[in-house]
Amino acid sequence: MLSALLAELRSGGTFETRDLAARLGTTPALMEAMLEHLQRLGQVRAYQACPSACHGCGLKEACSSQDRPDGIRLWQV
């Protein structure tokens, strides 16, 4: 399943954890665990979202999502 997750991430785009979980037929909690495992392996890097949406940032709308007032976790392959 880790290979399938990496393939999804490498396909490009921006994905929410719950969307990735649905694509791979698993739970958001397991998806978070897999992303953290891939980070420990050096396959993905985590970024901290800024406390407020950055003007001009391509992820501005995702970061300031109303359903995630605590922000989002960003990962890069």
Tell me: the pLDDT tens digits for 14-72?
Answer: 788 888 899 999 999 999 999 999 999 999 887 665 665 566 666 666 555 545 555 56
pTM, two decimals, is: 0.69
Q: How far is CA 70 from the centre of its chain?
A: 14
Which domains does the chain carry? 2-76 (1.10.10)
Alpha helices in the chain (DSSP H): 2-10, 17-24, 28-40, 60-63
